[in-house]
Amino acid sequence: MKSQAEISELPILVKNDEELWRDEKVGSCQVGSRNCGSVWDTGKCDQSWINREYKALQQFNYKQTRHIVLTADPGKYESGQDAYNDVKVNRRISELIRKLRRGKKEKIGKKWVEVRKPITITNWRVYQEWHKSGFPHWHLLVEVAGIGWRTKIGGDVLRSLWEPGKWVKETYFASHQHWLNLLGDLRTNGYFGKKKNHQATLPEWALDIPGLVVHRSSGKRNLNGDGSKPRPSDSNEVIDENIDLVTGEILLDSCRVTAHYRRSYREKFAHCGKTIWAKITSKTEMVEGIFKIPFKDIRARHKGSYVERFGYVFRISMEEIREFITRREKIIRHECHVPSSESYFRWAWTAWDKTVKEGV
């Protein structure tokens, strides 16, 4: 439990006693960094993806796992973009998995003869990577039911089923250390290999296509057991809103959608970390929105503390609140509150009271 002196130094939302802040001319601000969230933004936003994939691969049995590298034949496509589109549109990799599972039979005379045995695949994961030329290649990890050379799929089989390219490589993991080396490459670099960071870098042709979504990995669902989905990194709507700077009221009649588009990867990277999400609360109103202020500038200017589930929290004066509003990009929500003698701002304080009582 925090002492009265400690509570008085916290932002107003954290205070457990209404009397401490009833007449203060300050507000409380919750801030979160607004990054692009792209797994291709290496060094910034791809760490959560790396951690998630590392946990997913830990569920593989390395003794039953085959490592297959699939390439696209440059002589078959005009560009890396054509090769990527062909594999994506025709779902070549998932089709390869399906054919391996089904096997193949041919009718010879009156009998059906098995010419390719079906393979029991218990788990699989594929990772998109790139050559310096802009052509894609894929690392396919397939866990099968069985151990040893008899579980080998075979280069001839894979080449016959993989139409985009002739060069296919299949290997197995000779030891646990061999498997850990591969996982270590992924966890350290975000790709398989060393000193080849172009493998995790989008080629030039992919950077300026509006709305292009390139999945860095896919495979059997719910590998990490939580069924989580990536959050959307960008909104498609850009809303222009006017605000009365005296009252803080949003002039709803002036709200209009000025554009409807999807950003390219180059735009996402350029705007990464340049804006923040903020929720500003005073005793009379609450404003939540997106603001054109880099998060690092907030940390440098305002002394605060990080609170789990709430973000970076600090006090803010009424003058600074007006400054925040002038730098808004998009207002998500605005509420005005009328204080009363019986109830004073209790609607948003439950979690904060719990935080204080538990001594967080």
Question: Encoding tokens for residue 103?
Answer: 């096997």
pLDDT of 230: 41
Written as six digits, the tokens of 164 are 């985009």
Q: What does the alpha-carbon distance between residue 99 and residue 101 come to, in Å, rounded to a whole number?
A: 5
pLDDT surpassing 70 at residue 357: no
The pLDDT score that the predictor gives to residue 221 is 57
| Average pLDDT rounded to a whole number, residues 117-121 | 91
State residue 337's pLDDT score.
63
Contact 113, 105 (CB under 8 A): yes
Provide Rg for the chain, Cα atoms: 27
Choice among 76-85, 181-190, 274-283 with the minimum mean pLDDT:
274-283
Express as a percent the part of the chain with pLDDT over 70: 75
Q: pLDDT at position 112, please?
A: 82
Q: Which own/partner pairs from 209-214 qualify as long-range (CB within 8 Å, at least 24 positions apart)? A: 209/264, 209/265, 210/261, 210/262, 210/263, 210/264, 211/261, 211/262, 211/263, 211/264, 212/264, 212/265, 214/40, 214/84, 214/128, 214/265
HEC string for 180-209: HHHHHHHHHHCCCCCCCHHHHCCCHHHCCC
Residue with the bigger pLDDT between 215 and 352: it is 215
Region 275-301 average pLDDT: 84
pLDDT at position 301, please? 85
- Angstrom CA distances, 104 to 64, 75, 151, 161, 296, stand at 22, 29, 17, 11, 59
Alpha carbons within 13 A on the beta-carbon side of 183 = 20
Give the model's pLDDT for residue 300: 86
pLDDT band at 164 (very low <50, low <70, confident <90, very high): very high
pLDDT at 169 over 80: yes
The tens digit of pLDDT for each residue in 200-209 reads 999 999 999 9
With the C-alpha atoms ordered 308, 311, 316, 318, is the resulting torsion angle positive or negative? Answer: negative
Location of structure tokens 């940390």: 299
Residue 306's pLDDT band, with cuts at 50, 70 and 90, is confident
For residue 20, CA distances in Å to 24, 316, 356 come to 8, 16, 15
pLDDT tens track for 240-268: 344 443 344 444 443 343 444 588 999 88
Mean pLDDT score across all residues of the chain: 76
pLDDT at site 86: 94
C-alpha distances out from residue 215 to 40, 126, 127, 198, Å: 9, 10, 8, 16
d(CA 94, CA 126): 10
What is the distance between the alpha carbons of residues 68 and 167, in angstroms, rounded to a whole number?
11
The more confident residue out of 12 and 138 is: 138
Tens digits of residue pLDDT in 317-334: 877 887 777 777 777 887
pLDDT computed for residue 180 by the predictor: 92
